[in-house]
Structure formats: structure tokens, C-alpha cells
């Protein structure tokens, strides 16, 4: 039985909701696989399904000196590799998006998220950090 993209998307969102804080890319993928197989569907891993070890960092807030320095220093201290960075000042507002490889870090995603929460509070900005695979699966399905 072949499931439509909409059906798989619905199963994925249900899996993310059910897993809550435990919704790692691997856990979501496993839960979706089990659900699809239980419905008689075929779940095959594609070549691009291997975890990338990269995260997407999005930050924004009122602009002031030291934002980029604070975020990049914390990532550097955690041995994370910034692979791409886009920054824009819109009037008084600062926005930044980064692609960061965390595979060489001694910290896991949750620890890096906690560190970014501390930096965000200190810099009075918002920082969101999500695994790239979550973006990839949500846009592929």
C-alpha cells in the first residue's frame, strides 16, 4: 500500500507531538516507520536519510553589539563548525540563520540548545535550534 505525502506528513506530525521533548530525528523516523508498516505501507530508507549531524540556528531580536560574537563563541567553545551564516539588520532588528555541524562536539543537541538558551537570555534575543534532518523530512514528505 502506498501512502500519500499528506498521510505521511500527518503521521510525522503525530509522531513529533507524541514524542514531545524526546522527538529526536531518529526517534521520529523510527515511530513513523513503525506506524507506516503497521498500516501495510512500505517504508524504505533513501540514501539521503542518514543523519547529517547539522542543526539550523535561527536568532532574532533588537540589534546591539556582540550578538554574533556571543553566539559564535559559544558554538566554538562546544567545538561546533559553522558551515553557513546569513545575517541581516532590518531597521533596529537583527536576524541570523546558521547551518552548524555539531557532529564533532562533545555536547549533544539538547546540551547545545540549553547553552543557546543561556546565550539568548544574556543577549536578550531569541534563538531557536533544530536538527537539520527534521527540516529535511518535513519538506520531503
Could you give the CA distance from residue 72 to residue 100 in angstroms, rounded to a whole number?
10
Mean pLDDT computed over 66-93: 95
Domain borders along the chain are 5-44, 54-136
Partners of residue 62 on adjacent β-strands: 93
User: Is the pLDDT confidence value at 8 over 60?
Assistant: yes
Q: How many residues does the chain have?
A: 141
* Nine cell digits for residue 56: 539550523
Give the CATH superfamily of 54-136.
ACT domain (3.30.70.260)
Evaluate if residue 4 carries a pLDDT over 80: no
pLDDT digits (tens, 9 = 90+) for 14-49: 888 888 877 777 788 888 888 888 887 665 544 444
Euclidean distance between CA atoms 13 and 19, whole angstroms: 10
pTM: 0.63
What is the chain's mean pLDDT, rounded? 84
For residue range 48-74, list pLDDT tens digits in order.
444 568 999 999 999 999 999 999 999
Average pLDDT over residues 71-83: 96
Predicted local confidence at residue 73, as pLDDT: 97
Is a pLDDT exceeding 90 seen at residue 78? yes
What is the structure's pLDDT at 9? 73
Quick one: residue 101, left, alpha or beta (phi over 0 = left, psi -120 to 50 = alpha)?
beta
Which pLDDT value is given to residue 61?
A: 96
Q: What is the pLDDT of residue 79?
A: 96
- Tell me which long-range contacts 1-8 makes (C-beta under 8 A, separation of at least 24): 1/39, 1/40, 1/41, 1/42, 2/41, 2/42, 3/36, 3/39, 3/41, 5/141, 8/32, 8/36, 8/141
Amino acid at each position: 500500500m502506498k501512502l500519500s505525502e499528506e498521510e505521511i506528513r500527518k503521521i510525522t506530525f503525530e509522531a513529533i507531538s507524541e514524542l514531545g521533548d524526546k522527538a529526536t530525528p531518529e526517534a521520529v523516523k523510527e515511530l513513523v516507520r513503525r506506524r507506516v508498516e503497521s498500516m501495510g505501507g512500505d517504508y524504505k530508507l533513501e540514501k539521503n536519510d542518514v543523519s547529517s549531524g547539522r542543526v539550523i540556528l535561527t536568532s532574532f531580536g533588537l540589534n546591539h553589539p556582540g550578538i554574533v560574537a556571543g553566539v559564535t563563541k559559544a558554538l566554538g567553545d562546544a567545538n561546533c563548525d559553522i558551515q553557513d551564516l546569513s545575517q541581516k539588520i532590518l531597521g533596529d532588528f537583527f536576524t541570523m540563520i546558521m547551518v552548524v555541524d555539531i557532529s564533532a562536539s562533545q555536547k549533544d543537541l539538547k546540551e547545545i540548545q540549553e547553552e543557546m538558551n543561556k546565550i539568548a537570555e544574556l543577549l536578550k534575543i531569541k534563538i531557536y535550534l533544530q536538527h537539520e534532518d527534521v527540516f529535511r523530512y518535513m519538506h520531503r514528505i
